[in-house]
Chain A
């Protein structure tokens, strides 16, 4: 097992270099290669071309693309992600200022989604074709089809009419004057809407996965055997069926770990949540290259690590899986 992990971590290096190369090329080749500095002229008509080229040179953008790329790669090795064009501050600071918020939201919505979806999925599989199963499935399809920014908008109007929950952000205006428990309560209140908006979408999907995998297992011979042995239905389902049905979901869990820091730009925008998604989207639209590359790199590392964690978990939950 340990050898397997070490091998995976070593392979991470070339994989990441490949990822950076591909994403750099994608940014360079994106349609309308009009870069960040070029678009300044329309926003500030008084700016002169020489000022624009000076700005470009300040960030090393006057060099050919492959030199820019090598320079960037070299500084990454020194854990320097470069400066943002738009903000003129280190990319690491920008990401750092939002990473914790995004992590908080991702974790809460993941916990909520999984703890709601799995029981529902199991229930509807066990009660296949019942009325509740039908209702749950319809609800799941609705949840999958509503884009999360739209459900965020609906929730926002709901919060506006009921005046029960804050409409925007992560903290209240007088947050700094609250006692420690007040701070926790304040953040919790602010987290409700984004958590629901993000969680709703994944609940639908996860529930359907859980239901399908479980149904498949319930048809298997060993379940019949277990029932024939006279085991209690509870034991059949929870000890035998669910444990076997959970494998594909563990892989899925690994993927979700990879998305922990990628944020959810649209929900964040609507609900004014100070997360990474907004930053990434804005950087992408403005071609703030180093911010885009930095977040891509972090996202990729997390995705690869998430998969690794999933593989290890898989070996843990399913004794049949061995890597050595």
Chain B
């Protein structure tokens, strides 16, 4: 991620992507009709074999533009790819269908050159027209999709123009910092989808009722079978555009079978019985799985902290119908800080995550190697300190042990959380116990997920909640949470103008970071935002669990990371013989 802009310019004209450690580049591999394949680094493997994987539920759609949830985007990842892709290890953006790109001086124009000789898995060539078609569909107001929200700069769509059959030019209304992070939308085949699009049937195209062979993509695999609620089967795409360092066309593995296993316990048994090849180990199962490594012939990989966060949030929304004195507590920085000191993160780590987690104080995870700011204000567990901070804010604990504010209102509130998430209920319980020690009267209300969402985004009638969000590398993706106008700015959503000076500051840093192309300056802006959030604690963070996965030992080239998972480099993963 360092020196992004410089690196990009260097990439212009470069045809190979090798890690610098390799030193002098070997003669670069090429294939007939595909002069510049992308080289994937790794041990030279063998062809053949089947990878048995599983997921928790059916995909919702096979249409990559409409797909949102991981149960759809996961399987579709075998089939569709973008102009660029993220490296699972370095988290950097790398060329994919595009072999190179250039940026103009003002940072508003990006020109991408497609790899020569790219083919869809039905043999048709991939051209700039497919890219144009993809963006036309994404931006069509008749086709609601979340990509179109991400791909907006200063509220305007990105202009896409064809230069020649292999070159596409993008122009943004303003310089756009996260451009490379968002531009990798899956490219769809115009020759297969244009008729449906023109007929206004795109929203119903490539649903689950489509024969799998109709799904034409550029990815390493093609789907051959889909049995609703049972499984998906993929076979190797013979036209794939990646090679190993010796120039063999990838992928190595012939067949992928993705079984749908709705129950987590069943999934675990299936892995232990040898009927799937990988299993996402939950922190509390870590010790047990580690013990079974030898007998089960697998390895448990440790990816370090994940991107998931769990936090407590107080309602600061004046339109929430909360009594004025309660609103005043929640809007008081000292009150929130005191609660932050009262959160026993070590207890949460031990009891909820079996010790396999780290305390969290700021909004970004250390899994984000580039944007994470470790120097934010921290709130180590200290009930005395919490009591002192509360006293500074005028709260007094009476002889009856009840905490009251300066006007004599006893401090009592309800923490809601979704009942189907055991971790969150446990976290809320641990927090409640400590707050009770401070003299607060806290009730825990586990509710259905839908009820919670309704309170959060529509009725606003709640007091405190324990919730979680998954993050990504670029903080820009969290702007709906952090900008005061955001609909997921949980404590006071959709503010007409920032309610507090610090929220105005965060807005400013988010806007600056979005319109800056220099990644180091962007990092400086996002550092500021992380410091403000930790100081103001609108969200009181608890702990980040580590990411673990168990994978059978028969696979070669596994490079597990919390960001990319165990199979981000799947084309070079092979089965040892």
Contact = CB atoms under 8 A, between A and B. Distances in A.
A89 interface: yes
A157 B273 CA distance: 11
A188 interface: no
Q: Interface centre among B144, B145, B231, by most A CB within 10 Å?
A: B144
Contact of A32 (B145, B150, B207, B447): B447
B231 A169 contact: yes
A55 B456 CA distance: 20
Contacts of B275: 167-168
A51 B228 CA distance: 28
B46 interface: no
Contacts of B480: 41, 45-48
Given A157-B269, A160-B269, A38 B447 contact: no
Contacts of A51: 144-146, 148-149
B448 A32 contact: yes
Contacts of A90: 209
Contacts of A171: 227, 230
B450 A44 contact: no
Interface stretch (B235-243, B259-267, B544-552): B259-267
Interface string B339-379: 00000000000000000000000000000000000000000
A43 B263 contact: no
B288 to A, nearest CB: 15
Interface in B400-458: 447-458
Contact of B52 (A35, A48, A173): A173
Contacts of B391: none
Contacts of B231: 169, 173
Query: Range of interface residues on chain A?
Result: 35 or more
Contacts of A38: 450, 453-454, 457-458
A44 B478 CA distance: 10
Interface stretch (B60-68, B77-85, B190-198): B60-68
Interface in A78-92: 83, 86-90
Contacts of A282: 57
Contacts of A40: 68
Interface in B230-277: 230-231, 233, 257, 259-263, 265-266, 269-270, 272-273, 275
A88 B207 contact: yes
Given A39-B449, A169-B231, A46 B150 contact: yes
A271 interface: yes
Nearest to B269: A160
Contact of A274 (B227, B450, B453, B477): B227
A272 B449 contact: no
Interface string A259-285: 000000000111110110011001001
A52 B480 CA distance: 14
A167 B269 CA distance: 8
A270 B267 CA distance: 9
A58 interface: yes
A29 interface: no
A70 interface: no
B69 interface: yes
B57 A34 contact: no
A49 interface: yes
B34 interface: no
A270 B203 contact: no
Contacts of B487: 41, 48-49
A251 to B, nearest CB: 33
A153 B469 CA distance: 31
Contacts of B225: 176
B488 interface: yes
Contacts of A168: 259, 261, 266, 270, 275
B204 A88 contact: yes
Contact of A43 (B69, B144, B259, B494): B69
30 contacts: A33-B454, A34-B450, A34-B452, A41-B453, A41-B457, A41-B488, A42-B469, A43-B68, A43-B69, A45-B488, A46-B146, A46-B150, A46-B480, A48-B146, A55-B144, A58-B144, A87-B60, A87-B61, A93-B208, A156-B269, A157-B269, A167-B266, A167-B270, A167-B273, A173-B50, A269-B262, A269-B263, A272-B262, A272-B263, A282-B57
Interface of A: 31-35, 38-49, 51-52, 54-55, 58, 83, 86-90, 93-94, 97-98, 101, 153, 156-157, 160, 163, 167-171, 173, 176, 268-272, 274-275, 278-279, 282, 285-287
Closest 7 CB pairs of A and B: A32-B451, A34-B454, A274-B229, A54-B144, A89-B207, A97-B228, A34-B450
Given A42-B457, A167-B270, A176-B225, 14 more contacts: A34-B454, A42-B456, A46-B149, A46-B479, A88-B207, A89-B208, A97-B228, A163-B273, A168-B259, A269-B263, A270-B263, A272-B261, A274-B227, A285-B449
